[in-house]
Structure 1
Amino acid sequence: MRFASFDVFRTLGFPDTRHFKPDHLFRHQSELSAAEWILFPEYWQINALIYGMGCRVFPSQASYLLGHNKIEMTRAFQAVAPAHVPVTHIRANTPDNAEELWQEITHPFVAKLAKSSMGEGVWLIEERDQWREYLGRTNTLYVQEWLPIDRDVRVVIVGDQVLAAYWRLQSGFSFHNNVARGGSVDYSPVPAVVTDLALSVARKLGVDHAGFDIALVGDHPYLLEFNRLFGNQGIPGGGQRLREAILGYLERQSAQSDDPSRPPEPVAA
């Protein structure tokens, strides 16, 4: 068995792949340890697979850990590309912090929950009542400047390459650009400054399967977030092209690790 998968829908058509139910993780330890790659495990399985069973997982551990929490993701963005992160405030949700932020930040602004996807948990805050409603939903205040855009770019990274890049146009009934929230796809050319930023950040962070959402204000790109799991409806070639890209990347990674002439990876001090 070359691959073991915990997501049958994302690995349909993968050769030499056995599918397991996530809840059966500990029933198949020997088989999982023998597999060359574990594909699309659930987040709660990562530590057991990597540290307990010595497995290699795809997407990467960084894709899981950073993609699981937008606050941690934003802090990682600030570490590797600070000039490309919107002005961001992250504070404990206390009455004093809430009042200070309301007074200090330029209105309107964007408020987010740390764990959400498809445009859920993201609000444009314009009025006090909206702010109060947000305060009742979170323990951590996570707010960013509002960028004057009516579209953003989805850059799909698979392995070490940009698989696709396309515009997502804002829906007519909200400020969200997500296709799941009514946004639409536009295949007009995407500037290289956007795709170069996504690929650079992905490589620096070790993220190998992600849909990066990037806003372009004038000629300057801003990192909004990435999604470890993303839809393929906007990718030319759809699921087949995505599958081919994943398999090609895993084959290259396996060849590198099996090459005796390859120098060892540097060990961090």
Structure 2
Amino acid sequence: MTSASLDNPLVALEGRLRHCRNVRTLGVRPNFLDYTPEERRWIREAAKIYYPSPFYAELLDTMGKPTFPSYHTYKFAQDKIKQTALFQMAGIPHPRTRVFYGRRQKARIVDHFSFPFIAKVPRGSALGKGVYLIRSAEDLAAYCQMEGPAYIQAYLPMEKDIRAVVIGGRVVHAYWRVAPVGDHRTNIGCGGDVDFSPVPRGALALAVRTARVCRWDDVGLDIACRRDDFVVLEANMKYGREGFRRAGIDYNRLLEQCIVDGSI
């Protein structure tokens, strides 16, 4: 069990735990000396810092201070290129994906993929934004006008996929996301619906294995069914909470309990 006292409280920096009663959230201040002397002591003496932000996660990892989420979780947030490379290296089932840099490489996309296929904004996108179904040469030309590398993925025809949220090494919530009519995206923020039919055990096992192998301890994994098996589409460290709300799960109380039972 994680414990704290008034003199040495449990400390978070980012606001994810601001509504949790057993954690004191200090905020992310770009200059460490902007924290009060007492707050700086709390940070230095805390056994673990919760939601430290990407900036402080790297500094705390250098100092050997444990954080939640892990530094590894922060390193892969909103970076599909790194995620894909890690999935491929670790043998995590993942749709066939390639990254193309520069005009010469982009001109060869159709040598590797047949229409239709998926193109994504590889960095900084979330909530279903920056995902395109490329049906023609015209669609591809428009996508390639965007700056940066082209992130191309095989198209898996599907009407729904699975969102599995893994916190502290276990699936705390999983559900189906159903695409709206005429859209290939299942994201709730893009009009997708939620289906609480049972999620196959194989998908849950893949979610746990992926989080463990990748050393991600707070992540929403998007998983698709492919014939008789499952593939991880991508990882979301800034996952939405609408699926929790619709299921009647109090996300803040869930995190409080995870802290109490020592799973995070």
Bucket of the pairwise TM-score, normalised by the shorter protein: 0.7 to 0.9
Partner of 1:106: 114
Q: 1:55 to 1:129 in 2, by over 3 A?
A: same
Which amino acid is the alignment partner of residue 25 of structure 1? F
**Cα distance per residue 1:44-66 (max 9 Å; x no partner):** 33222221x54321111111112
Distance 1:223 1:9, change over 3 A: closer
Aligned residues: 249
**CA separation of 1:16 and 1:122: change in aligned 2, threshold 3 A:** closer
2:214 paired residue among 205, 216, 234: 205
TM-score norm. by structure 2 comes to 0.86
Q: Distance in 1 between matches of 2:112 and 2:236?
A: 30
Structure 2 residue runs without a partner (length 5+): 1-7
- For 1:232-251, list aligned pairs within 5 A: 232-235=241-244, 236=247, 237-248=249-260, 251=262
After TM superposition, the runs of 4+ consecutive aligned structure 1 residues lying more than 4 A away are none
Match of 1:41 among 48, 52, 61: 52
* Structure 1 stretches lacking a partner, 5+ long: 254-269
Once the two structures are TM-superposed, the CA of residue 252 in structure 1 deviates from its matched residue by: 4.8
1:5 equivalent in structure 2? 12
Q: 1:169 to 1:241 in 2, by over 3 A?
A: farther
Give the alignment's TM-score, normalised by structure 1: 0.85
Q: How does 1:26-105 map to 2 (within 5 A)?
A: 26-28=33-35, 29-51=40-62, 53-82=63-92, 84-94=93-103, 96-105=104-113
Amino acid at match of 1:183: G
Q: Contact conserved, 2:117 with 2:154, CA < 8 A, in 1?
A: yes
RMSD: 2.0
Tell me the CA shift for residue 248 of structure 1: 4.2
Output the amino acid matched with 2:55: W
1:29-83 deviation line (CA, Å, top 9, x unaligned): 44311122222122233222221x543211111111122411101111112234x
CA distance in 2, matches of 1:24, 1:148: 48
Tell me which of the two structures has the higher relative contact order, counting C-alpha pairs closer than 8 angstroms and 6 or more residues apart: 2
Structure 2 CA distance, aligned partners of 1:205 and 1:54? 19
Which of 12, 15, 29 in structure 1 is aligned with 2:22? 15
Q: Is the 8 A contact 2:97 2:154 kept in 1?
A: yes
User: Shift in Å at residue 173 of structure 1?
Assistant: 4.3
